[in-house]
Structure 1
Amino acid sequence: MDELEFRRRIMSDPKQRDSEINAAIRSSDKNSQFADEILDLDKQIAQAMAVDVPDDLADRILFNQTSSVENNVVRPTFARRAMAMAASVAFVAGLLIGQINWGKIVVSPAQAGLASTAMKHVVEEKPFVEQLDEQVKSSQINAKMVPFDHEFSQSFPYHVYYLNHCGFGKSNAMHMVFQGEKGKVTLFFTGIPSEHATDFNKDGMAGIIEPMGNTSLILVGEEGEDVAKIAKNLANIIKPLN
């Protein structure tokens, strides 16, 4: 598991401790320290947000909106005190979160659509992958496809710079970067189904979502890249495992 995937999974669930996470923690003091810091932060935020709310809070807010004036001093009502307390809690939580160096942390957007999730991955992971060239072989690609019950029936027709698994919303995906016709193209193959093919263009990126049974093929390239053509070429050689 690389550092980027480790940080993403720890941020997604600070208490997660499966065999891969434990191995990554044991292999690096830096990973161990990061995991402890995020777990501690999670506890501090939980404590800061644990404010007891009176059962009759709603009634008090609705009906106790007046303040008394004595010696030219305006006394705060219960509603104002409650709002001040909530603001203080939010402020404290903000300060705690601000203590983390978010540089390489990728917080996966679980509620975002497939297109938004894919584009955020591309933007946020570009500094990490843009200098890599792992010269990935087709056999390695099919090994990464196994969890999704699919494979490429022929050799992958493009030069592959990077290959890994990654968190993708509430699911996982195979994450690949390869050479397109105009520039690098990022591919995600995920177990999240999609209803129909969808093109998207935003912030200088062009993409397409291609349904593949109960899975989805997602491509994101530079603006002007013919991702529909690439998706068609790849879809023709992606087959379910027997």
Structure 2
Amino acid sequence: MTTLLVIAKAPVPGRVKTRLTPPFTPEEAATLAEAALADTLAAVLATPARRRVLVLDGAPGPWLPQGIEVIPQTAGPLDERLAAAFGQCAGPALLVGMDTPQLTPELLAPTLAPDAWQECDAWFGPAADGGFWALGLATPEPDLLRGVPMSVPETGAVQRRRLTAAGLVVRDLPELRDVDTARDATLVAAIAPGSRFAAAHGRLAAGVRCPAPTTVVR
């Protein structure tokens, strides 16, 4: 069976979702991040998997549900951290982030089906901003991620080319929108109205203030 990896930051004000500030305060941005992470972990818990692993930057909190194994992220740039996460796996693995609270077990189902890895070496989930929200490897090979430029518009295209250049057969998942900006948050909340993220966004957006930009730790 496949290992499910979730790579995430602990929802600490000033350390997470800093691009939501303003209009949201650092505390509100952290509240939205916690809701997004909770939705993501709930989707992961509702799917069949060999292991369910949270690869965490920071310390676990009361938001962590039972049934999730936690390992710390390694130091270094994001490509190295993603590579190291795959390096922890002995068999097929699928990695997702915490930025897509619209994630559902149905979206994950093709990668976890009995035939998920038949004539398939990799799964790729593109993100609307040019990145990717999911990456699955039948044989986890960290070097497939090392050196890929992260957090730029061409990240997804470069990563997918890296897979095909290695001779892998790649299957694609639907495109999803990451929550990076306040506009993204509004759009994703509308897509997933029953989510924890949508509920938190609705509460906060109703009374949001627009303070001067806050200096935060990035």
Richer in strand (by share): 1
TM-score normalized with structure 1 length: 0.28
Q: Which has the larger radius of gyration?
A: 1
> Larger RCO: Structure 1 or Structure 2 (Cα < 8 Å, ≥ 6 residues apart)?
2
